[in-house]
Structure 1
Amino acid sequence: MTTPSLDTARAVLEELVGAGMRHLVVAPGSRSAPLAYAAAAAHAAGALEVHVRVDERGAAFTALGIARATGRPAGVVTTSGTAVGNLLPAVMEADHGEVPLVVLSADRPPELRGTGANQTTRQPGIFGEHVRAAVDLLPENDDVPARLAAPLAALAGRGPGGPRPAGPVQLNVALREPLHPAPEDGAALAGRARRLAARTATAPDPGPRAVAAGPVAAPSPAAGQARSVVVAGDGAGPAAARFAEACGLPLFAEPSSNARSGPQAVGAYRLLLEAPLGRRIERVLLAGRPTLSRPVAALLARADVATAAVQPGPVAWYDPGRRRERVLGSWAEAAAFTGRGAPGWAAAWREAGAAADGAVARLLAAEPPGRPTGPAVAAALWEACRQDGSVLVAGSSNPVRDLDLAARPGPASPLVVANRGLAGIDGTVATAAGVALGAGRPVRALVGDLTFLHDASSLLLGAGEREPDLQVLVLNDGGGGIFATLEHGALGEQQEYRDVVERFFGTPHEARLDALCAGYGVPHRRVGSLPELAAALAGPVRGRSVLEVRVDRRELRALHARIRAAVAAPAH
């Protein structure tokens, strides 16, 4: 017989494993010790794979990456106090990104709350509306399955009102001392864990959520013809590509849509939307969530364009009634809305897209050999992932936009994962590591230097922890390059604002990434040219490593102006 706190911890983990959770990330702490001991027993029995991380924020993003890669719930365990607050960024991303993240926050029992007891704060409800459900599991709540029924249903996208978006839940577990097992408790914990492993050994695997796709219906013969296009935003899935092909429509697919493949996909589409061809668009079907492009946002807002969104189920990224698109519940309805492509419509876009892609590729190839650019690096990484089957994790800010600009569609595209729920730069290294651990596949991550520095602590790996196969490619421009492409960049060219823009938006630094990686024991290699990069990407991804490519932030605005000019002539 084990202690009450161990019984509670074991019961909670049993319910979560029964609900499909197979990975748990644990951050060390005293109040959460019963959960750690129960997790260790489940790990030893093969019922659960447990990962240990010293930083709670990194632990949460690691669990987020695992959940994204597997489609299953993944959990994170923390002790009480500020440790719980460090989970908020990942919880917010999971909320808007519809990721089944389980927060197991250990807490003090009721008699210690509000007394000034060490590491005690108001944890129940701390995440507010960013979780689908929250439960305060007190020591007196001895019926753990009944208490967890509603949160686990919410985790899976079920509720009393019908289907709802999947997303994070908080299980706040109050634990009384003793928090450690007695010597005789080990056998009982191990026995229960072995029985749990036997029960779950044959549970079906739902597969990667990022590549899930529903059935696609082509328009009926009675459907009309129109100058329609399909915009595939984050998470649209391969169904969007199949729909565009079935209907003969141009496809504008963001990298993390996982629809950027097939004969209808247009590469540098955002450069063509202001050209005469773009102004002829009559209808837009939206699949997934568009997050990257101002030209796409402008297209969706055009008064002369009819818009609709295909959403077979509820989504979390906007409130009903807050967007203008008409919501369609099936691909059959979508086909009735778009109709078939007008004669020559898709061919015109294919021709324009090929010309734009060629113009971009020629311009990037003409850059000085010793001065790589972000789009050229992104294109090289895209092709490397396409060739060897590694997953591509795209960092926010410029990297994912470089991919959107320069990644050329083909018969197949690599699996792309990105935190586009809120598009923050935090936790990207940890997310990529989680994707590698969850998918069991090599991962290459494309990030900026500030993104890397923001999450460098996630390079830390304890002795004995399973090492992800993760290669992080850092575009190091010594600051925040994306602002050069926005209005701030134009202001920065004026003497009056040059220093202000550089200090507050450029945020220059002189951090040495090689020394930082050496401190964490992670191999680092600086790449000075595109041929060097091709050689570095040719090898397999084994363990953790960092490739650093220096790019010039001062030339970024001029580079994008040259790209637009190179595409403008053939586009018109």
Structure 2
Amino acid sequence: MNPATAQAWVIVDELVRCGVTQVVLCPGSRNAPLSMALFEAAETGRLTLHVRIDERSAGYLALGLTRGSGRPAAVACTSGTAAANLHPAVLEAAHAGVGFLALTADRPPELLGIGANQTVDQRDLYGPAAATVAFPVAQRLDGQGRVWRALVCRAVAEAEHGRPVQVNVPFREPLVPTFEPPWPDSLDGRPDGRRWTVSAPPPLPRGGMDFTLPARTLMVLGSGRADRAVAAASVAQSARWPVLAEPTARAAALSGGAVVLRHGTLLVSGELPEALRPDAVVVVGRPTLSRGVSRLLAGTTVYAIDDVPGWADAQHAAAQVRCWLDLGDLGLIEGIETEWLPSWRQADVSAQTAVDKLLAEQEWPTGLQVAAELVAALPSGGQLFVGSSNPIRDVDLVAEPRSDIAVYANRGVSGIDGNVSTAAGLALSSTGPTYALVGDLTFLHDLNALVVGPPEQRPDLTVVVVNDNGGGIFSLLEQGAAEHRPSFERVFGTPHSVDLTTLCTALNVPHTLVTDRATLRSAVVPQPGLRVVEVRTDRAALRELHARLRTTATEASHT
């Protein structure tokens, strides 16, 4: 066994021992030792291997596998720009607190800085976004096995604590198995399949509240740990606080027994009536979707429940930060105001009546209608990945909160890249039906997610594409105002006129064009395989519709 083959075999064996059983592999020459070791492990049933040709999509697939399974997954690639293409997924993982492993094959040190082909300095390639575990070049020496296994355990421990890890492995030729003398000592791991080094699991945050909270408190739940959201929501339930939860936190909030407002984001988009003005806002996790929420936080006393250090506070408004809030802290709440929660519930019901009426008056389909109707149609036990830009905000604005579906989104850095691949990873790590709701630019940006080779396991994933032929989100921002109309369509609207039907045919992916509500409901009935459901919308009236939506909800809350 030559050194590169021996090192790759030990790395893969120790990864499996550490519980890393989902690996995405991109083809390449320098990572050939890893590729062959991973193939052998997959053939013997020790891990599940997913082969993809695009590293950027592969990185997000590993991210989705990690989030769906709750265990670190890995992605392996060759050197050079291949490793650089994992950077977007690493950034998303770093800011979302998701730990996966980037196994980047590298050239040996003697090839750095001399103009060798496909060679860059990829040590610490991802900067502060990832921990780095740097392997030495394998040599035929005693004691190498323990070094390699200990480094794998260190990398997995970092990932288990919610941090992406670059595992950089320089391989010296030969890169494929060759006839060599026996290895000088044993390369075997610990007996009974144990890890070489067993480290302590991540600590659970607990307690620490030492200040009072007013009765008129509003709780806002953003992205973050589900267990923290459930614990905090149980306090809101007992204290009779209303809860405004972003889509990814709604199931956790409902599991904690909280009253989750369906149209909370709309209610805070305008001036709140006196009966709804909170004395404090408890922010759990990291809210990112609503400017109305941001304005509310900027003008109210804020208490943050989040990681310490590293808590979310984009408005620089937090007066106190603690890592946990649960029922043990109920004694610190200044009583219950009997009309506080009923006032919010009544405003929410009034807003719902007004919003339902407004949407019923619109010609179908709009993105808002599709979001509400898709969430309502999903089967119990399913999971939904919601794309960045308008889809996640449409779900936030109008969809009914449900406790029986899991909702995911890439809110670490909120990019449109890799969304479909992340959803595919969720689907491949789950036994229930999985759906993705994305815009057309998000879909096109990650088209390689649909390139799945014949030998590969295909995800059971239905991708619903709301196609408004461009960047509809910009219609709702400052650049979508009338005074910017001359430049808008070309540099922000960016129409593409791509025929998704033809595109899906070329990719051997079933495609359904939906033109009415009944067809949408039938198109999302669970079935195996990867498929695309397209709904074509018009963004010309999008800005006006959202303005009317906010006005309608605000007026309803004042009645």
Query: How many equivalent pairs are there?
Result: 538
Cα distance in 1 for residues equivalent to 2:75 and 2:341: 47
Which residue of structure 2 lines up, in the alignment, with residue 568 of structure 1?
554
Q: Residue by residue, what CA displacement relative to the aligned partner does 1:133-186 show, whole Å, maximum 9, x if unpaired?
A: 3424322592212334443332222xxxxxxxx21011110111111124899x
Asked if 1:111 is matched to 2:110, the reply is yes
Asked if 1:177 is matched to 2:173, the reply is yes
Asked if 1:506 is matched to 2:493, the reply is yes
Query: Cα offset for 1:269?
Result: 0.7
Q: Which moved more, 1:255-264 or 1:52-61?
A: 255-264
User: Could you state the TM-score of these two structures normalised by the residue count of structure 2?
Assistant: 0.89
Counterparts of residues 83-98 of structure 1 (less than 5 Å): 83-98=82-97
Amino acid at match of 2:86: L
Q: Which moved more, 1:510-519 or 1:10-19?
A: 10-19
| 3-state DSSP of counterpart to 1:525 | strand
Match of 2:252 among 255, 259, 276: 259
Asked if 1:527 is matched to 2:514, the reply is yes
Which residue of structure 1 lines up, in the alignment, with residue 358 of structure 2?
363
Which residue of structure 1 lines up, in the alignment, with residue 416 of structure 2?
425
Cα distance in 1 for residues equivalent to 2:128 and 2:486: 40
Q: Residue by residue, what CA displacement relative to the aligned partner does 1:178-237 show, whole Å, maximum 9, x if unpaired?
A: 11124899xx9xxx99x9997379xxxxxxx9xx998899x99x9775210110001252
- Given that 1:236 and 1:287 are in contact with CA atoms closer than 8 Å, whether structure 2 keeps it comes out as no
Query: Cα offset for 1:15?
Result: 2.6
Which residue of structure 1 lines up, in the alignment, with residue 158 of structure 2?
154
Asked if 1:230 is matched to 2:219, the reply is yes
Query: Cα offset for 1:498?
Result: 1.4
Q: Extract unaligned runs of 5+ from structure 1.
A: 158-165, 202-208
Amino acid at match of 1:228: T
User: Could you state the TM-score of these two structures normalised by the residue count of structure 1?
Assistant: 0.87
- Given that 2:215 and 2:239 are in contact with CA atoms closer than 8 Å, whether structure 1 keeps it comes out as no
Cα distance in 2 for residues equivalent to 1:213 and 1:154: 16
Match of 1:390 among 377, 382, 385: 382
Which residue of structure 1 lines up, in the alignment, with residue 406 of structure 2?
415
Cα distance in 1 for residues equivalent to 2:320 and 2:212: 18
Cα distance in 2 for residues equivalent to 1:184 and 1:47: 26
| 3-state DSSP of counterpart to 1:439 | coil
Cα distance in 1 for residues equivalent to 2:431 and 2:167: 27
Match of 2:443 among 452, 465, 479: 452
Counterparts of residues 6-405 of structure 1 (less than 5 Å): 6-140=5-139, 142=144, 143-157=147-161, 166-182=162-178, 199=193, 226-237=215-226, 238-257=230-249, 258-261=251-254, 262=257, 264-273=259-268, 274-277=271-274, 280-302=277-299, 305-311=300-306, 313-314=307-308, 324-332=318-326, 335=330, 338-368=333-363, 371-385=364-378, 387-405=379-397
Change (3 A) 1:522 1:19: same
Cα distance in 2 for residues equivalent to 1:354 and 1:182: 72
- Given that 2:71 and 2:160 are in contact with CA atoms closer than 8 Å, whether structure 1 keeps it comes out as no
Change (3 A) 1:340 1:146: same
Amino acid at match of 2:282: L
Change (3 A) 1:339 1:177: farther
| 3-state DSSP of counterpart to 1:342 | coil
Q: Residue by residue, what CA displacement relative to the aligned partner does 1:39-82 show, whole Å, maximum 9, x if unpaired?
A: 11111222211100000101110000000111111100000111
Change (3 A) 1:470 1:120: same
- Given that 1:272 and 1:278 are in contact with CA atoms closer than 8 Å, whether structure 2 keeps it comes out as no
Amino acid at match of 1:330: W
Change (3 A) 1:278 1:404: farther
| 3-state DSSP of counterpart to 1:259 | helix
Q: Residue by residue, what CA displacement relative to the aligned partner does 1:463-498 show, whole Å, maximum 9, x if unpaired?
A: 1101100000001001000111111111xx23xx31
Which residue of structure 1 lines up, in the alignment, with residue 199 of structure 2?
none
Cα distance in 2 for residues equivalent to 1:564 and 1:85: 42
Cα distance in 1 for residues equivalent to 2:134 and 2:313: 24
Change (3 A) 1:132 1:115: same
Cα distance in 2 for residues equivalent to 1:224 and 1:270: 22
Q: Which moved more, 1:33-42 or 1:266-275?
A: 266-275
Change (3 A) 1:251 1:471: same
Change (3 A) 1:327 1:215: closer
Q: Residue by residue, what CA displacement relative to the aligned partner does 1:337-359 show, whole Å, maximum 9, x if unpaired?
A: 65444211111111111221222
| 3-state DSSP of counterpart to 1:121 | coil
Cα distance in 2 for residues equivalent to 1:43 and 1:170: 22
Amino acid at match of 1:394: V
Which residue of structure 1 lines up, in the alignment, with residue 476 of structure 2?
485
Cα distance in 2 for residues equivalent to 1:320 and 1:364: 32
Percent identity of equivalent pairs: 42
Which residue of structure 1 lines up, in the alignment, with residue 533 of structure 2?
547
Asked if 1:559 is matched to 2:559, the reply is no
Query: Cα offset for 1:20?
Result: 2.1
| 3-state DSSP of counterpart to 1:133 | strand
Cα distance in 2 for residues equivalent to 1:149 and 1:101: 13
Cα distance in 2 for residues equivalent to 1:377 and 1:277: 34
- Given that 1:98 and 1:316 are in contact with CA atoms closer than 8 Å, whether structure 2 keeps it comes out as no
Change (3 A) 1:466 1:149: closer
RMSD value, Cα: 3.1
| 3-state DSSP of counterpart to 2:219 | strand
Cα distance in 1 for residues equivalent to 2:552 and 2:233: 28
Cα distance in 2 for residues equivalent to 1:361 and 1:321: 32
Q: Which moved more, 1:237-246 or 1:247-256?
A: 237-246
Cα distance in 2 for residues equivalent to 1:330 and 1:44: 44
- Given that 2:384 and 2:405 are in contact with CA atoms closer than 8 Å, whether structure 1 keeps it comes out as yes
Cα distance in 2 for residues equivalent to 1:423 and 1:32: 30
